[in-house]
A and B are shown apart, each in its own frame.
Chain A
Amino acid sequence: MLNVAQYHVAYGQSEVLHGLDFTVAPGEIIAIMGRNGMGKTTLMKSLMGIVPTKDGAAAVDGVDITSMQSYERVANGIAYVPQGRMIFPTMTVQENIETGLSISGRSKVPGDIYELFPVLLDMKGRRGGNLSGGQQQQLAIARALATNPKVLLLDEPTEGIQPSIIREMARVLRRIRDERDLSIVVSEQVLSFALDVADRVLVLENGRLVHDEPRDSVDEEKVAAFLSV
């Protein structure tokens, strides 16, 4: 569903990602692990068209998106939940979700989104900025799902969220995958969450993928060694 080939990304002259190759199958959840500064967020941002790609290609469902603007990528089925959630603080919960509908031209929030996150239905008239961190995270996911994506990117969704809600989030992500059959890419530093949610675990180290293994055969200690500082 998502094909990334020989993917190079640079900030000016300093190259951060040195030629990544990976594919995500339809309905697969992959976790990209790595310490701070290894390029996880850069990868997410460049897939979303926020940071330009230097070389290589990315394709969603066979359509090359490498040179598209952000909103065109969304139209081609890629959605993004950024680090720090980045909801629109002065807009209501409902309006936040509705921004995701811009691309499809629908005007009503589909009921299944509120079904996934009932708390958002209770708070739909509140301003996004007044929600708690966990609620904002749910809102950011709901907003991304409103674009009806084929591939969902989540950048460190567990950051700043209490442990009980992290477990709940892994369950919700698997449920979203099962119901909508979409591919999910999660970048993560928390190993337990990654093992909870992912079918496959990749490790990003200094801008290169150094490890790629299905969940079932993952050697926890080996991956943990990559993450330890």
Chain B
Amino acid sequence: MSRSSEQHPADLAGAYALHALDADDMVIFEAHLAESEEARIEAAELKDIAVALGLAVAPVQPSAAVKANLMAMLSSTPQLPPLPASRATSLAAMDAAATDPGATPAGSPAATATPGTEGAASTGATTTGAPRPVPDVHSGDASSTPRPATASERAQTRWFKRPAQFILSIAAAVALFVGGISLGQSLNSNQFESQQAASLAQINAANDSQRAATTTVDGQEVTLVWSNTLGISALLVDNLPVLPGDQDYQLWYMNNGAATAAGTFDSSGDGTVWRVLDGTMHTGDQVGVTVEPTGGSDQPTGDPIVALQS
């Protein structure tokens, strides 16, 4: 909490609307919400912006089984009673304050996402020790415990995972998939791998993420993902053959006949190998892969095994 106290709690409004707060900051921010009408108005507005981001995502049709399951579960899933009058009143008052009358239909969602005024008081009562996954709604649970937990209770269960663990686990995942990237001696490999993972996550999260797919000359599937605004790209190849010890795969950015070296990698022969390219991608660049002597070459010495147009 100390790291937050230097800052004004109002700074947390963005992360709150994006569900990106950790437990400590959630408590701080909810206390701030309870005190400040201005903060409640801003929170409702920013929540609407988050929803606008959600509405910009392309829909995906669920399989028919999802609806069939749901319809079958309804009869065994009781509905929650409406909020008790006192709580409803206080929440309604809060939300009324948070709603700009007449202008936007300010969307402060109901109980599940509304800052509970009792949140701060009950903090710590629920999750003192072992972190556990957030409880799922099963029809069985619901019949015995009409819940939902307060926002801060949920926050406590939600944010147990530390960033350090996150970096470790993503680094482990990278190790799994990269299957041994060729590294310069000076580079610390863990650092390199987490940078690779972070870059790939950035491409995936970018608003302008794009993708192109083709096959190598030998038929392996190749996918290029990139973001023009970030200027980075990554290449993914399935089942790329193992190379002899004195050779590496090398990536190139190609534009107007000029090739720029963009890093080397090797492959364990099966699974997906991927590599975020070094350097900056420019709009319209081609990305190619050649087989080069270990450590890579300044310019390609052979024909590309694959080339993709971004």
A binds B: no
Which B residues fall within an 8 A CB radius of A?
none
Which A residues fall within an 8 A CB radius of B?
none
